[in-house]
Every structure is written in C-alpha cells, then in structure tokens.
Amino acid sequence: MENNLVERYVYDVARRLPEKDREEVRRELRANIYDMLPENAGEEEVKKVLYELGSPASLAEKYRQKPRYLISPAYFDEYVRVLKWVLPLVGVVVMVIGFAIGAFDAVKAGSSDYALVAGGIVSKGISMGLSAAFQALVWTTIGFVIAERSGEKAEKAGGHGWKAEDLPEVQKDEKANIPLSESIAELIVIVVFSILGLLFCTGRLPFMMAFSDGNLQFFNIFSESFLALCVPAILVSLVLAVVEGVAKIRDRRWSVFVCAAVVLKSLVDMAFSLFLINRPNMFSAEFHSFLEGTSVLRVLPSVNGTNVLVIALSVLIVIGAVSECVTAITKTVKGVSK
C-alpha cells in the first residue's frame, strides 16, 4: 500500500532531475524505501527512514549521472535552458539597437568616410550586444544563486535540515508546475526590455530612421508629453513583473498568490495600454507630417474620429489580458484541486 509521505518524498527527488531519468529514479527509490520499512510501518518509522536518506535536494544530486557544479546540479539543467534562449535574444536585440545608435551618431557627426562609418556602426552594435548578453548572463546566474540559497535556507527549518511535513504534494498534472527556468527567464527579459523602454522614453535611443528624398532622416515618432506618460507606466509594470516573478520562483506552481500577481499585472498593463494608445497627442508633429506624406493616414479609415487601427489594437489588448487572466485562474484552480 502506498504511503503518502513516501510518494511525496519520491516526487520531490524526481522533480529535481532531468525528465529522462525521473521514471527510473522513482521506481528505484520507491523500492529502496519500502525495503527499508517494516511491515505496517507507522508515520514515525516512515519519517525516520526518509531522514536517514537525507533531504530530497541532496539525494537528487547523488542520482545525477553527470554532476556539474557551476550551478548546483539540482538547478543546472534549468540554468542552461534559460541561458540558451535569453542570451541570444537579449544580445541580438541590443545589437540591432546598437547598430541604430551607431548610424545615428554617424549621421550627427557628418562623416564622409564610409568605411569608418560602417566600422563604427558594426563596432557599436557588437559591443552593446556582447555587453547586454554578459549582463544577462550575470543576472541569470545571480537569480539562480538566490533561488538555490533560499531553497537551502528553507530546508534547514527542521532538526534534520528539512521537514517531512513540508514535502510538496504529488502533482499528477505537471502543467500545474512552473519551471524555475521559465520564471527567471521571464523576469530577466522583462527587466532588460523595461530598461530599453525607459532609455527610449528618455531620448537616449534613436526613435526612427527613414529615407526621404534619398537622404537618411531621423524622426521622433512619439511626442515628449506621450513619452513622459510612458515612464511611470513602464516603472509600475516593472514592479508588478518583479512581484510576479518572485512569486513564481518562490512557489513554482500555480498558487493563489501567483495567480493574483499575474491577474493584477495583466489588468494594470491593459489599463495603461488602453490609456496610452488612445492619447490624441501620441505622435510627434514631424512624424505625423511624415505619415501624411506617405498617405498612410488617408488609407486607414476612422470610426467616430478614432483610427480603426487604434480600435483594433485596443480590442487585441483587451482579449490578450482577459485570456491571460482566464488561463492563470484555470491553471490555479486545477493545481489547487489536485
């Protein structure tokens, strides 16, 4: 007959291992534990055996076939998974921005040496891309170190270094779990792009480049008053994103707290987005003139004075926010009911 504490212990050990090894470890560990237990073992006897085996985190490390210690083996696979897509994403995006800044600086300098200009543009892009990728690497590592240390601290709450009562319930539906790699990656990407957004709003990044009459011209797409409104919106969204990320890293499942954080951020982001895109002074005068010259504004119809593109974008924002809220609530209800 299965014992709940044993199953929870086996689950906690297996979930820290690569998926390909989990089933084999479950079978082996479960058999070893029941072999160590007497017939009709009581709860105290079960706890004694589990404490002899050690904490789930330390036992999971012993089961790993290829120990790696840059980050603790219990977190290494998720750490590598984050780096594989966060570093290229951040590096490439910032590199493209660096190319734009390099071109902007070259136009301002008025240099006629095209080889020197091209070299400066490439150099600026590569240096910014590598710097951003390095920063992403540093903050990803710091994030995993903090998550690991907080986990170790929590495990020292009991006299044996951990408590059997604190073992997580077995999740039959793995979709109720939130991978640590996913939470940390989301947090890093949001922080990086929030910083880029703040640089954009404060005029530290070029807004737009376009060819007009055969010459490269720079336009301020958005008006200064609109950008001033964007700054607090980005800061509030960033704070809520950090709260959401910390909640996911702490609980690693769809708990009520995680759901509340996700829903709150979605609704606040929706409110800010709807408010901002409906500002009449969104675009700068020079960019508005540029659009009129390209006949874009005449092609797009209006409904009661509101551009149809703004209406469509507003509908998409509402649908996206509601969809995210419903998904979070559904996952939380399924996870709590398990």
Q: Please, are residues 190 and 245 in contact by the beta-carbon 8 Å criterion?
A: yes
Residues in the chain: 338
Instruction: Please report the pLDDT score of residue 20 as a whole number.
Output: 78
Q: Please, are residues 283 and 221 in contact by the beta-carbon 8 Å criterion?
A: yes
CA-nearest of 112, 2, 11 to 59 is: 11
Question: How many CB atoms neighbour CB 327 within 10 A?
Answer: 14
Give, in order, the Cα–Cα distances in Å from 105 to each of 97, 131, 281, 334: 12, 19, 28, 54
| ∠ Cα 241 245 249 (to 5°) | 175
Give, in order, the Cα–Cα distances in Å from 88 to each of 34, 92, 131, 141: 47, 6, 12, 16
CA-to-CA distance for 288 and 282, rounded, in angstroms?
A: 10
Helix (H) or strand (E) holding 302: strand 302-303
Q: What is residue 222's three-state secondary structure?
A: strand
Q: Please, are residues 180 and 143 in contact by the beta-carbon 8 Å criterion?
A: no
pTM beyond cutoff 0.85: no
Question: Tokens 């200064």 belong to which residue?
Answer: 224
CA-to-CA distance for 285 and 248, rounded, in angstroms?
A: 43
Question: Tokens 């924002």 belong to which residue?
Answer: 317
Dig out the tokens for 137 from the structure: 């690497």
DSSP string, 277-290: HT-TT-B-HHHHHH
Burial of 236 (0-12, 13-18, 19+ CB in 10 A): middle
Helix (H) or strand (E) holding 140: helix 114-155
CA-nearest of 168, 146, 145 to 72 is: 145
Give the residue extent of every domain in the chain: 1-65
Longest CA–CA span in the chain (Å) reads: 89
Instruction: Please report the pLDDT score of residue 312 as a whole number.
Output: 87
- Partners of 218 in the β-ladder: 209
Instruction: Please report the pLDDT score of residue 158 as a whole number.
Output: 46
Average pLDDT across each block of 10 residues of the chain; the chain has 338 residues. List them in order.
80 80 87 86 86 82 63 68 80 80 70 69 82 82 72 49 69 66 80 83 65 59 86 93 86 85 94 90 75 60 64 92 93 72
CA-nearest of 215, 196, 218 to 98 is: 196
- Residue type (1 letter), 70: L
Burial of 274 (0-12, 13-18, 19+ CB in 10 A): middle
Radius of gyration of the chain (CA): 27
- Residue type (1 letter), 16: R
Q: What is residue 215's three-state secondary structure?
A: strand
CA-to-CA distance for 333 and 191, rounded, in angstroms?
A: 29
CA-to-CA distance for 188 and 136, rounded, in angstroms?
A: 7
Question: How many CB atoms neighbour CB 146 within 10 A?
Answer: 13
- Partners of 211 in the β-ladder: 216
